[in-house]
């Protein structure tokens, strides 16, 4: 037996300790570990008895951050089922494709996404969904109210004793380079080792963590939220990122650990209550997703006395992989720091040979906090993990004599916009679906607010006509809003290499110089 019943254990050790504060609930919901465990037991018993959910089955949730996400995750952990949190930013057609790929049997959804649930209920790609549960509102035909499921489920302890370390606990989706997002398989072993890495570097038993990341992301569920639960700390959930409220909650709840992406930290300094906010309870803040600008670090340090740690993680590994200590935030600005304790890292050339200090190559990783490949996608798994077990990140990196690593570029075309990974090939595939498009290339260009935004460079078919607005609307009809490029540039020709490949580096130079 492997420890998958995280709440069952924590309810024994600290039943009366405040586990979760859901600030999106009206009124604010405060649950101790015993209460949180009972909710998960009730939901697990209901899912087993009424929906026939058992080990290995997928259970999907489509909702903004709130207690239901944790209920669903801990319920799945008790049953040996696989928590499958869907990105609510995606277009419903994208979600239907993901459901066809992962075949969940049940969908929990909030009223915000009722129309999406309507579309999914009628779509042939989502026919695996046999049970719909609405968190609030009226729900789609045949849907059951969430509170009824909780009330009708027995509170009796429930746990599958056959759960082992390599069993999959969750699927977390990462951008697909050629189409649908891939589902990284997060095992119970991966969770345990990531927690150990996190505890070594960051967490205490009495920490209060405010989460502002979407819980469908590895950043929301696994960076601090789950390690903090395992440690017996208190986790605060916010329905969505609101700068003024974040600052107020840090002060009111005496938050000790906070994490965000650079864009969020910028927005906090622009909030109306920034000057008066008291942030003295914070032991540190963590930044990830992109390098944190030195002037921003200096502003937080000078005005609020904040100590910044910076990190680097991935959906498929960790997610805690590298950490840059607060003392190094300025002296080693731009570095992702050193590997976490139980993470092996090296830089290799195109022939997979290790490179020395100062040489740029691909960053590869190895260790027990590595994911178990991609769900139902052996080809993608084989491409990412070599014969020696090293995971190939696709990032070009370099390290120095003190073992500080720095990301220099991306081997793949992916760029990060507001903390979200955006894969140009996915956008290009949609553009090529427009009859007027002959050639296209999508690149990421710098943006003061989002870090990077997309630019679509398009060559039209001979004799065809299309406006940039028309092409943008075509993209909006098929893609999540954050994937849609900021603008479309119609060009006479794209730069092409002798091998016939579009030279995206030349496009970047053209539009960023």
Residue 4: which pLDDT band, with cuts at 50, 70 and 90? confident
Residue 294: which pLDDT band, with cuts at 50, 70 and 90? confident
pLDDT in tens, 366-417: 999 999 999 999 999 999 999 999 999 988 899 999 999 988 766 677 788 8
Task: Classify residue 219 by its DSSP letter.
Answer: I
Range of the domain at 430: 415-512
116-154 CB burial, b ≥16 within 10 A, e <16: bbebbbebeebeebebbbbbbeebbeebbebeebbeebe
Considering the domain boundaries, does residue 125 fall inside one? yes
Given 143, 171, 204, which residue is the final one in a domain? 204
Q: What percent of the chain has pLDDT over 70?
A: 97
Given 410, 444, 479, which residue is the final one in a domain? 410
Surface-to-core class of residue 412, CB atoms within 10 Å of its CB (0-12 exposed, 13-18 middle, 19+ buried): middle
Considering the domain boundaries, does residue 145 fall inside one? yes
Tell me the range of 26-35, 178-187, 414-423, 429-438 where mean pLDDT is highest: 26-35
pLDDT in tens, 171-198: 999 864 446 789 999 999 999 999 999 9
Considering the domain boundaries, does residue 217 fall inside one? no
CATH number at residue 296: 2.30.38.10
Residue 157 CB neighbours (<10 A): 15
Considering the domain boundaries, does residue 150 fall inside one? yes
Minimum mean pLDDT among 36-45, 185-194, 262-271, 368-377: which range? Answer: 262-271
Q: What is the mean pLDDT of residues 144-149?
A: 97
Considering the domain boundaries, does residue 234 fall inside one? no
161 and 143 assigned to the same domain: yes
358 and 485 assigned to the same domain: no
pLDDT of 1 reads 47
CATH number at residue 508: 3.30.300.30
pLDDT of 409 reads 67
Q: What percent of the chain has pLDDT over 90?
A: 77
Given 204, 229, 253, which residue is the final one in a domain? 204
Q: Which of 195, 193, 221 is nearest to 72 (CA)?
A: 221
145 and 85 assigned to the same domain: yes
305 and 380 assigned to the same domain: yes
188 and 48 assigned to the same domain: yes
Which residues lie below 8 Å from residue 382, measured CB to CB, with a gap of 6+?
A: none
**How is the beta sheet containing 361-366 ordered, strand by strand?**
344-348, 361-366, 391-399, 405-410
426 and 404 assigned to the same domain: no
Considering the domain boundaries, does residue 329 fall inside one? yes
Residue 101: which pLDDT band, with cuts at 50, 70 and 90? very high
pTM over 0.75: yes
Tell me the range of 98-102, 198-202, 407-411 where mean pLDDT is highest: 98-102
pLDDT of 119 reads 97
94-103 CB burial, b ≥16 within 10 A, e <16: bbbbbbebbb
Q: What is the mean pLDDT of residues 326-339?
A: 90
Number of domains into which the chain is organized: 3
393 and 465 assigned to the same domain: no
Q: What is the mean pLDDT of residues 224-237?
A: 97
pLDDT of 330 reads 87
462 and 395 assigned to the same domain: no
Residue pair 69/63 in contact by the 8 Å Cβ criterion:
yes
CATH number at residue 151: 3.40.50.12780
Residue pair 455/511 in contact by the 8 Å Cβ criterion:
yes
Q: Which of 469, 491, 332, 353 is nearest to 399 (CA)?
A: 332
Rounded CA-CA distance 94/429 in Å is 13
178 and 79 assigned to the same domain: yes
Considering the domain boundaries, does residue 453 fall inside one? yes
90 and 198 assigned to the same domain: yes
Mean pLDDT of the chain: 92
321 and 466 assigned to the same domain: no
Considering the domain boundaries, does residue 259 fall inside one? no
Rounded CA-CA distance 181/303 in Å is 41
57 and 172 assigned to the same domain: yes
């Amino acid at each position: 037996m492997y420890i998958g019943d995280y709440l069952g254990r924590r309810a024994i050790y600290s039943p009366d300790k405040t586990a979760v504060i859901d600030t999106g609930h009206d009124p604010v919901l405060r649950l101790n570990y015993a209460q949180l465990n009972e909710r998960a037991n009730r939901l697990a018993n209901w899912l087993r008895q009424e929906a026939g959910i058992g080990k290995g089955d997928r259970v999907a949730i489509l909702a903004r951050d709130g207690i239901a996400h944790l209920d669903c995750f801990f319920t799945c952990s008790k049953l040996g089922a696989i928590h499958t949190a869907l990105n609510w930013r995606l277009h419903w057609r994208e979600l239907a494709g993901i459901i066809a790929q992962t075949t969940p049997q049940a969908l929990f959804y909030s009223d915000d996404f009722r129309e999406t649930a309507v579309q999914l209920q009628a779509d042939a790609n989502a026919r695996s969904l046999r049970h719909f549960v609405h968190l609030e509102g009226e729900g789609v035909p045949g849907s059951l109210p969430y509170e009824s499921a909780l009330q009708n489920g027995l509170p009796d302890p429930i746990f599958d004793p056959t759960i082992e370390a390599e069993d999959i606990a969750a699927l977390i989706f990462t951008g697909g380079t050629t189409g649908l997002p891939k589902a990284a398989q997060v095992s119970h072993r991966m969770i345990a080792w990531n927690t150990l890495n996190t505890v070594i570097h960051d967490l205490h038993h009495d920490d209060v963590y405010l989460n502002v990341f979407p819980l469908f992301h590895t950043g929301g569920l696994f960076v601090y939220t789950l390690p903090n639960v395992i440690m017996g700390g208190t986790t605060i959930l916010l329905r969505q990122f609101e700068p003024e409220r974040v600052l107020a909650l840090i002060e009111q709840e005496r938050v000790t650990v906070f994490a965000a992406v650079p864009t969020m930290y910028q927005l906090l300094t622009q909030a109306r209550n920034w000057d008066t906010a008291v942030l003295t309870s914070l032991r540190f803040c963590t930044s990830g997703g992109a390098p944190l600008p030195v002037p921003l670090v200096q502003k937080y340090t000078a005005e609020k006395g904040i100590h910044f740690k910076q990190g680097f993680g991935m959906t498929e590994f960790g997610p805690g992989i590298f950490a840059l200590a607060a003392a190094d935030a300025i002296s080693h600005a731009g570095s992702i720091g050193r590997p976490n304790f139980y993470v092996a890292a090296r830089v290799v050339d195109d022939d997979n040979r290790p490179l020395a200090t100062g040489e740029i190559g691909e960053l590869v990783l190895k260790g027990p906090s590595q994911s178990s490949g991609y769900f139902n996608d052996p080809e993608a798994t084989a491409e990412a993990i070599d014969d020696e077990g090293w995971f190939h990140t696709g990032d070009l990196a370099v390290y120095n004599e003190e073992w500080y690593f720095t990301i220099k570029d991306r081997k793949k075309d992916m760029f990060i916009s507001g903390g979200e990974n955006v894969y140009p090939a996915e956008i290009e595939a949609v553009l090529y679906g427009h009859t007027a498009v002959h050639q296209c290339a999508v690149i990421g260009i710098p943006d003061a607010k989002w870090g990077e935004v997309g630019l679509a460079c398009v060559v039209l078919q001979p004799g065809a006509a299309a406006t940039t607005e028309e092409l943008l609307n075509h993209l909006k009809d098929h893609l999540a809003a954050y994937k849609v490029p900021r603008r479309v540039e119609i060009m006479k020709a794209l730069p092409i290499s002798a091998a016939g490949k579009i030279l995206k580096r030349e496009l970047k130079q053209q539009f960023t110089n």
